[in-house]
Chain A
Amino acid sequence: MTEPAVLPKDPCADFASAEGRAHFARSLDCVHCGLCLPVCPTYQLTGNEASSPRGRIYMMRAVADGRISAEPGSTYDNELHFCLVCRACETVCPSGVQMEALVEHARCEMNKKTGPPSRARRFLLRTVLPDRKWLRRAADATAIYSKTPIGKILRKLGIVDWLFPGATAREALMPHVPKREHRRDLPALLPPVGEKRGRVAFQEGCVASQLLQDINEATVRVLTRNGWEVSLWKNPSCCGALHAHAGDLEFARELAKKNIEEFEKTKADFFILNSAGCGSHIKNYARLLEVETGWLHRAKEIAAKTRDIGEFLVETGYKPRNGPRALRVAYDEPCHLVHGQRVSAQPKQLLQSIPGLQLVPLAGATDCCGAAGLYSLERTTDSMAILDGKMQQIRASGCEVLATGNPGCILQYRLGARRAGMNLQIMHPIQLLDEG
C-alpha cells in the first residue's frame, strides 16, 4: 500500500495542489484491473465506467495531474455524487484502494468550487444532526407536518420548498415518526442485570434516536441482560459520518474530537454501536484525525474499542434467546458492516442462535440498498432504482422479516416495502434476539 508520507492540514486541499497530492497518492494503489466494476451499484445501473470505482479514480487522477479541472456540473462532479460510498469496491479491491477516503476528499475539494451549501443542507448537517434538542424539534415538526393540516397550509404557501428546495416532491420518502413517548432519551447510565462483566459506552445515533428508539432500547436491554453496564451521552448526538461523506471534513473532525472526549469520560471498555454506518466511521476516526496533533493515538484507541453490537456479542459471548421466534428471516448485510467493517458472519450467527428462526438465503445481500445517508434525499431517482432492484430480490427470498443492522437501511427498506406493496417487517437483528 502506498501510504502518503505527509498529509496536508487542509482536508480539502486540491488534488492538484502540492498539498493535495498526498491525498491523491491513495489513488495510485489502483492498477485499473476492473474487478470493482460488477460490485458497484452505480455501474450496475449504467454500465458506464465513468460510474465505476476505477473510472472515478481515473478522473480523480486526471484532476490531480492537471489533465482536467474539477468543474462543478461536469460529469466528474456528477459521478462523485452518484457514488453511494457503499465501499463494495473496497471488499473486492485486490490492491486495497480506500475508495471512501478518496471520495470524501474529492467531494470536499469539489464543495469548495461549488460554493456554500444550501441553507437546508447546512442547517440539517451542522445544526440538527449533532444536537439532540434540534433532532427532537425536527422530529416533532415532521410529525406535525405529516399528521396535521398545518403541513398542507405550509405546502400551499410554498414555505416548505423555500426552506427545503424540492422537499414536497419527496414527501413519499418521509418516514413514519413515532409518538413522543416512543422516542424518549435513554438514561445516562444503565445497570447490568446480574453480575457486572464490564462497562460499555453506547450511542443512540442522530436519526435513530428519533425514529428507531425501539431498536436502541432493545440493544441496551440485550447488553444489560448480558451483564454489561451501559453508559451514554447525549451530545454530540452524531458521529459525523454523514458530514464526512458529504465532504464536510472540517466539521466531521470537530464531531470526532467531541465524541472521543465523551467516550473517554465514560471510561468504558468498549464502544458499542448498533448502526453500521456509525461503527464504520468511528473505526475510521484515525484516518480523519491523523493530521491533528495529539489526536491520532486517541482516535486509534477509540477505534480499537469500537464494536458493532453483533460483532461484540459474538466476540464476548451472550445469553441465547429463550423464547422461540418461528420466522423466516433474510439477513441483508449493511454496506458499512460487511464492506466497511468486514463484519459478516457474526450477525448471521446471532440470528441462527434464535430458536425456531429460519434464516433464508438472500441474493445480493451484500449489495447497497441505496439509502447511503443523505443520498436517498439528494439523488432520489438513483436511490429508488437501486432500492426497487433490492426489493425484487427480497421478495424472491420469501422472507417474512428482513433483518439488517443500520438505521438508514431499515428506513429505506420500510419505504421499499411500501413502494412494492409488500407485507414485510424490517427489523434490526438485535430486536430479534431481544426478549423484552
Chain B
Amino acid sequence: MAHSTPVPTSHADPVVQELVAALGENSVAADRDTLLAYECDGLALYKQRPRMVIWPNSTEQVSAAVRILHRFGVPIVPRGAGTGLSGGATPVENGALIQLSRMKRILDVNPTDRMARVEMGVINADLSAHVARFGLAYAPDPSSQTACTLGGNVAENAGGPHCYKYGATSLHVLSLKVVLSNGNITELGSPDADPIGYDLRTLFIGSEGTLGIATEAWVRLIPKPEIVETWLAPFASMDAACKAVSSIVASGIQPAAIEILDDRTIAAIEASVFAAGYPLDAAAVLLVEVDGAPIEVGRDGERIRGICQQFGALNIQFARDEDERKRLWKGRKGAFGAMGRVAPDLYVMDCVVPRSKLPAALDAIREICDRYKVRNANVFHAGDGNLHPNISYDGRDADETKRVLAAGEEIVKMCVALGGTLSGEHGIGIEKNIYMPLVFGAGELDAFANLRRAFDPDGLMNPGKVMPAALCGEIAGAMKR
C-alpha cells in the first residue's frame, strides 16, 4: 500500500487527467475527503473546496502544472503550510491548489556570502536550525515559524517579533524563482547586488500569491548575535506598558523585539501547554529582547530595566541562558494557539497604528469588544505598533459570529482613523479585501489591478484575494476572455 496515494477518484475531470499524466498519480488529488481537508487555511472563517490539489516536487513540475491549468483557464491558489491568517491560501471556486510542501530542500548555503538557496516549502525554523552550524540565522520569525514555509512568508511579507530590529521578509530575500501564471519560469531580483530594472522582487514579496508562484529563493542570512538577553516586565496598567515602550524606543536603544501581552492573553497562556510563568496579576507584560555584543547588551538591558521600573514595573524577570529565554518566549509564541482553549474558535486580527497611538487604539478595541459582547485579548508587536486583537468565539453560534465580524470591522476602521492601516503582517487575503477602499482610492486600486495584470494578464493567480470584489469581477472578466 503506497502511503501517499490518495484514494483514487474517477478522474472524470479532464484537467485532473492531464495533471496526473504530467506529474503522476501521487502528485494530484481530487477526491472528496482530500478536497475537504483543504477547505481553509489558518483563517477558518471562510471555506471553499478546491477543484484539485497538486503537490509538485520541483519548479519544473510547478511550471508543467501551471501550463495545463492556464490552458484550461483554471484559477490557481498557491499554498505553503496553510498557517496564514487572512485566507490567502483559501481555495477559490473551481480553482486548483498548488501546495509546495514537498519542495523542502535547502539547496545551498554559502557562509562567505551569507546566503542560502532554498525551496519555498522549507519550514522557516528549519532554515535557521540548518545554518546554525555556520553561526548564521534567518531573521524573520513569525509566530508560526515552526510550521510556516518560506514561500508563505514571501507571499505575506511575514514579520515576527524580531523584525522590529531586522526587518520583515522583503529585507531578507535576495531573489526569487517564480512561475508566472502562463507557466513561464523567471528570476526576480538577484543574489548579486543592484540588479538592473524594476525591483520586481520587492513587489512580489507580500503580494499574497497574486503575481505568481515562488518556488525557490536566495535568502540573506545574518550572523547569530553573540549574546541575547530577554526581559519580562509586568505592569499594573496597559497604559504604563505602552509608555515604557515609547520611552525605550525614544532612548535610542534598538531592541531585537518589543512585545506586549495583556492580562487575558496571559491567563490563556498560563492555562495551556505553553505556560511560561507569566504573572497572572499583571494588566500587561512587556517582553523585551536585546542582542549583540555583551557590553552593549548588558548596558541596554540595564537601561530597559530602569525605564520599566520608572513606569512602575514590578518583579522584572530576566533570562540570559537559552532555556530560560525559550521559556519566556514560549508563552508569546504560543499565544494564539493557547487562545484556542478559551472557546472553540479564534479570530486573530492584525492591524497597525503609529506607535504613539497604541494606548488609544487599545482602549478603543476594549470598548468596541465590550459593546459587541465578544471576548477579546491582545498580544502585539509594540515596537512596530502592530496590534493583534484576538476574539474568541464559537463559530456554531451564528449570532456571536456576526458580532465578532462586526467588532472586527469597527476595529479595522478605528485603526485606519488613527493613521494606521489594515494589516501589519498577516496580509489582506479574503479577510480584509473589502476594507481596501478604506485606505485606497479608485486610482490606487486601479494601479494595483494594472500591476497584477502586468504579471498575470489572464487573472488566474489567486483571484479574489487582496482586491475588493468589484475589481475581482473585472479580473474574472479578463479571465473569460
Q: How many Å lie between the Cα of A48 and that of B7 in the bound state?
A: 13
Nearest chain B residue, comparing its CB with the CB of A34: B83
Q: How far is the CB of A377 from chain B (nearest CB, A)?
A: 12
Do A32 and B37 have beta carbons less than 8 Å apart? no
CB contact list, A48-90 vs B, under 8 A: 48-52, 55-56, 58-59, 62, 67-68, 73-76, 78-79, 82
Q: Is B53 part of the contact surface with A, judged by Cβ < 8 Å?
A: yes
Nearest chain A residue, comparing its CB with the CB of B125: A38
For B146, the chain A residues whose CB sits under 8 A away are: 35, 38, 92
For A175, the chain B residues whose CB sits under 8 A away are: none
Q: Mark B17-47, 1 if CB is under 8 A from A, else 0.
A: 0000000000001011110111111101000
Q: Is B204 part of the contact surface with A, judged by Cβ < 8 Å?
A: no
Q: Mark A33-46, 1 if CB is under 8 A from B, else 0.
A: 11111100011011
For B38, the chain A residues whose CB sits under 8 A away are: 49-50, 55
Nearest chain B residue, comparing its CB with the CB of A47: B101
Q: Is B340 part of the contact surface with A, judged by Cβ < 8 Å?
A: yes
Question: Which of A119-127, A197-205, A379-387 faces chain B?
Answer: A379-387
* Chain B CB within 10 Å, residue with most, of A1, A75, A78: A75
Do B337 and A94 have beta carbons less than 8 Å apart? yes
Do B144 and A31 have beta carbons less than 8 Å apart? no
Question: Which of B239-247, B341-349, B358-366, B433-441 faces chain A?
Answer: B341-349
Cβ 8 A contact of A75, one of B31, B55, B81, B344? B31
Cβ 8 A contact of A29, one of B31, B39, B341? B341
Cβ 8 A contact of B144, one of A35, A82, A96? A35
For B55, the chain A residues whose CB sits under 8 A away are: 46-48
Do A68 and B33 have beta carbons less than 8 Å apart? yes
Do B336 and A94 have beta carbons less than 8 Å apart? yes
Do B147 and A49 have beta carbons less than 8 Å apart? no
Q: Is A403 part of the contact surface with B, judged by Cβ < 8 Å?
A: no
Q: How many Å lie between the Cα of A49 and that of B121 in the bound state?
A: 14
Q: Is B203 part of the contact surface with A, judged by Cβ < 8 Å?
A: no
For A68, the chain B residues whose CB sits under 8 A away are: 32-33, 36
Do B7 and A78 have beta carbons less than 8 Å apart? yes
Q: Is A114 part of the contact surface with B, judged by Cβ < 8 Å?
A: no
Q: How many Å lie between the Cα of A38 and that of B337 in the bound state?
A: 16
Q: Is B102 part of the contact surface with A, judged by Cβ < 8 Å?
A: yes
Do A59 and B4 have beta carbons less than 8 Å apart? no
Q: How many Å lie between the Cα of A43 and that of B147 in the bound state?
A: 12
For A48, the chain B residues whose CB sits under 8 A away are: 4, 6, 29, 34, 53, 55, 99, 101
CB contact list, B325-342 vs A, under 8 A: 334, 336-341
Do A93 and B273 have beta carbons less than 8 Å apart? yes
Cβ 8 A contact of B33, one of A50, A92, A379? A50
Q: How many Å lie between the Cα of A91 and that of B34 in the bound state?
A: 25
Do B3 and A46 have beta carbons less than 8 Å apart? yes
CB contact list, B126-155 vs A, under 8 A: 126, 144, 146-148
Q: How many Å lie between the Cα of A99 and that of B37 in the bound state?
A: 16
Q: Is A352 part of the contact surface with B, judged by Cβ < 8 Å?
A: no
Q: Mark A1-17, 1 if CB is under 8 A from B, else 0.
A: 11000000000000000
Do B37 and A55 have beta carbons less than 8 Å apart? yes
Q: Is B218 part of the contact surface with A, judged by Cβ < 8 Å?
A: no
Do A79 and B144 have beta carbons less than 8 Å apart? no
Do A75 and B144 have beta carbons less than 8 Å apart? no
Q: How many Å lie between the Cα of A297 and that of B31 in the bound state?
A: 45
For B36, the chain A residues whose CB sits under 8 A away are: 58-59, 62, 67-68
Q: Is A327 part of the contact surface with B, judged by Cβ < 8 Å?
A: no
Cβ 8 A contact of A30, one of B29, B53, B340? B340
Q: Is A95 part of the contact surface with B, judged by Cβ < 8 Å?
A: yes
Q: How far is the CB of A29 from chain B (nearest CB, A)?
A: 6
Q: How far is the CB of B23 from chain A (nearest CB, A)?
A: 13
Do B7 and A45 have beta carbons less than 8 Å apart? no
For A94, the chain B residues whose CB sits under 8 A away are: 272-274, 334, 336-338, 340
Q: Is B408 part of the contact surface with A, judged by Cβ < 8 Å?
A: no
Q: With A92-B146, A95-B337 given, is the CB distance from A34 to B42 under 8 Å?
A: yes
Q: Is A190 part of the contact surface with B, judged by Cβ < 8 Å?
A: no
Nearest chain A residue, comparing its CB with the CB of B392: A31
Q: How many Å lie between the Cα of A379 and that of B3 in the bound state?
A: 8
For B83, the chain A residues whose CB sits under 8 A away are: 33-35, 37
Q: Is A28 part of the contact surface with B, judged by Cβ < 8 Å?
A: yes
Q: How many Å lie between the Cα of A31 and that of B43 in the bound state?
A: 9
Q: Is B160 part of the contact surface with A, judged by Cβ < 8 Å?
A: no
Cβ 8 A contact of A47, one of B41, B42, B121? B121
Do A47 and B6 have beta carbons less than 8 Å apart? no
Do B340 and A29 have beta carbons less than 8 Å apart? yes
For A56, the chain B residues whose CB sits under 8 A away are: 37
* Chain A CB within 10 Å, residue with most, of B40, B123, B148, B340: B340
Q: Is B2 part of the contact surface with A, judged by Cβ < 8 Å?
A: yes
For B183, the chain A residues whose CB sits under 8 A away are: none
Q: Is B82 part of the contact surface with A, judged by Cβ < 8 Å?
A: yes
For B12, the chain A residues whose CB sits under 8 A away are: none
Q: Is B1 part of the contact surface with A, judged by Cβ < 8 Å?
A: yes
Nearest chain A residue, comparing its CB with the CB of B4: A46
Q: How far is the CB of A118 from chain B (nearest CB, A)?
A: 15
Do B7 and A33 have beta carbons less than 8 Å apart? no
Do A95 and B338 have beta carbons less than 8 Å apart? yes
For A92, the chain B residues whose CB sits under 8 A away are: 146
Q: How far is the CB of A66 from chain B (nearest CB, A)?
A: 13
Q: How far is the CB of B317 from chain A (nearest CB, A)?
A: 21
Cβ 8 A contact of A50, one of B34, B126, B338, B340? B34
For B337, the chain A residues whose CB sits under 8 A away are: 31, 33, 35, 93-95
Nearest chain A residue, comparing its CB with the CB of B126: A38
Q: Mark B86-124, 1 if CB is under 8 A from A, else 0.
A: 000000000000010110100000000000000001010
For A82, the chain B residues whose CB sits under 8 A away are: 3
* Chain A CB within 10 Å, residue with most, of B4, B123, B126, B272: B4
* Chain B CB within 10 Å, residue with most, of A76, A91, A382: A76
For A33, the chain B residues whose CB sits under 8 A away are: 42, 83, 144, 147, 336-337, 340
Cβ 8 A contact of B3, one of A28, A42, A76? A42
* Chain B CB within 10 Å, residue with most, of A2, A38, A76: A38
- Sorted nearest first, the 8 A-B pairs with minimum C-beta distance are A94-B337, A47-B101, A95-B340, A75-B33, A31-B340, A55-B37, A34-B83, A28-B344
Would you give 13 A-B contacts (Cβ < 8 Å), ordered by A? Answer: A33-B144, A34-B41, A34-B81, A34-B82, A47-B55, A50-B34, A58-B37, A59-B37, A62-B36, A68-B36, A74-B32, A74-B33, A381-B1
